[in-house]
Amino acid sequence: MDGSKPLAGSPWRRLISLGSAAATVAVGGTVGCADPDQGHQAVISHQRTDEVLAETPVTNGTVISQSWIHSIEQSPWTDTYRTVIEPDDDAHLLLESTEFSEYGAGMPLDEGDVSFDDGVIRIQNIDREFESLTWFHSHNADFEFTIDGEVTISADDLPDREPLQLRIETQ
């Protein structure tokens, strides 16, 4: 990473260290925000150190997709989430759909609507809530995040071989 410069063409802002102001935004935040469409960030941080690596503003209904190449099957996988921000500032991610080429252990069996088209299995209408997304990041997985359909984070934008998480936080 190259400091606190924005990612090229991206709404995400990368950070190397947590200054006291950044720590307040990432950890403390403002409580009691009346408008659920203002004052929230999608924050990617290290799971162990809580170091904030990237952040971008989000509103209620922002669509965030996480794509990667599965390490065992070597096939593409995409999970699509929608941000849900309640009037009381409770914020979470709602898994709406997932797309993949191989079906196996750990896959939802009784959630959503399953379809198969052009070699891709799609499960839609899953509607499972997540407080955070956690993963072990790899530069070899062709990883990327999109916000409302625009690629915003690629594999090399985040540290390799590190446990990371994405959360929706109140500013």
Q: Tell me the pLDDT tens digit for each residue of 93-128.
A: 999 999 988 777 767 677 899 899 998 989 999 999
Query: Is pLDDT above 60 for 84?
Result: yes
pLDDT at 1: 36
**pLDDT at res. 149:** 86
* 170 phi, psi to nearest 5 deg: -85, 135
The pLDDT > 70 percentage for the chain reads: 75
Distance separating alpha carbons of residues 90 and 130, to the nearest angstrom:
12
pLDDT-derived band at 132 (thresholds 50, 70, 90) equals: very high
pLDDT at 36 over 60: no
CA distance readout (Å), 101 to 91, 97, 112, 119: 31, 14, 17, 6
Tell me how far apart the alpha carbons of residues 36 and 86 are, in angstroms, rounded to a whole number: 6
State in Å, rounded, how far the first CA of the chain is from the last one: 24
Collapsing DSSP to helix, strand or coil, 24 comes out as helix
Cα–Cα distance for residue pair 161/76, rounded to 1 Å? 19
- 54, 62, 136 from 57: Cα distances, Å: 11, 10, 24
